[in-house]
Amino acid sequence: MKAIHSLLATLIAAATIQAAPAALAQDTTIKVGVIAAFSGPFADYGGQIEAGMKAYMKEHGDTVAGKKVELVTRDTKGPAPEVAKRLAQELITRDKVQFLAGFGLTPNAMAVAPVVSEAKVPMVISNAATSSITTKSPYITRVSMTIPQVSAPMAQWALKNGIKQVYTVVADYGPGIDAETQFTKTFKAGGGEIAGSVRTPLQNPDFSAAVQRVKDAKPQAVFVFLPAGEQGIAFVKGFNERGLAQAGIKLIATGDVTDDHVLAAMGDDTLGMITSFHYSAAHSSPENTAFLKAYAAANDAKVGAPNFMAAAGYDTMHVIYEVAKKLDGNIDGDKAMAAIKGMRWTSPRGPVMIDPETRDITQTVYIRKVEKKDGKLANVEFDKIPDVKDPGK
């Protein structure tokens, strides 16, 4: 009996010693688990989000409310809901993160919703843009955009500019279906006609058949949503190679297609393209100038040009810092969500607010045209609609 007691005492002592550094770290650190693709075809999503987060920390320091802020990054390697879910569980139970953030891709964000509901951990989405994500858990907020929020203004712009017949091409998953649904709804309500619709696979798409179908239908314009990066490059290439512009077909899109991060690689074929979006690196404001400066100071040149995901990474950290200040560094899920609801600030993109009802972002949506600015391709804003809420819910 005595032996068992002393064995127990030894075990308890060992456990206490082991637990002590973790408990101590909780008192002095705010850990942010960042789940995103950092490798594979969507590697730039994680790269851009983290680069934006680092920019914020460079500008504002890496401590808030007396605690050190630590980013704990985890790679999903692409759209991988089961992996995202497991990483979220590990970050919460093993690494004891107080926030989850990142999430470039919708399927990964969706998979983590039940995990944060269960653990009551606040989750700040830095990109994933399918409207319904924020309805999946009361612990989710989003600082990026929703696809319906940026698609409706494109339909309105088309109607105002004499475009009456449009073909839609979207990626066949959440945000693409949101884009097709919202564009069609707004466009038809204003008297427009949909000439046809095609959905392309999220993984390894080949756009030649879609581009040919559009060409054969001869609409006035094609409206496109594709996830930012390589897919836009491939689509625009196919559009030009098959002579759609020469056939008089206009290309209109959400700003994902003319992603600032890959615009230079897309080349002059993009000149004149009209897109609707919430952020352009060419946005003229003191806040954007500060962001671009901090981005360049905080990151290696090899991370490339900043885009909307980098800007949202920066805003993600703004929300986390403001919550930490308000709660004096003691992060509690329910109190954090209460602090987030109704939060307003001036982002590099312009004035924004977290809608207290939906926990989604209300913001200005800009209409932009690809032009040369200081010798470089840029999404130049020429019109705007202030205070746009997500119309998708």
Residues that bind ligand PHB in the complex, under the rule CB under 6 A: 104-106, 127-130, 175, 227-228, 256
CA pair distance 264, 98, nearest whole angstrom: 38
Q: Are 47 and 76 in contact (CB under 8 A)?
A: no
Nearest of 342, 341, 363, 338 to residue 352 by alpha carbon = 363
Cα(181)–Cα(132) distance, integer angstroms: 13
Q: How far apart are the first and last CA of the chain?
A: 64
The three-class DSSP label of residue 2 is helix
Spacing of C-alpha 91 from chain mean position: 20
**Which lies closer to ligand PHB via its Cβ, residue 129 or residue 336?**
129
Neighbours of 9 (CB within 10 A): 10
% helix / strand / coil in the chain, to the nearest 5? Answer: 45, 25, 30
Q: Are 158 and 223 in contact (CB under 8 A)?
A: yes
DSSP strand E in the chain: where?
A: 29-36, 63-64, 67-75, 99-102, 123-125, 140-142, 165-171, 193-200, 221-225, 250-254, 274-277, 344-347, 350-354, 361-373, 376-388
The Cα diameter of the chain in Å comes to 91
Place of tokens 């209109």: 252
State the Cα–Cα distance between residues 341 and 351, nearest whole angstrom. 15
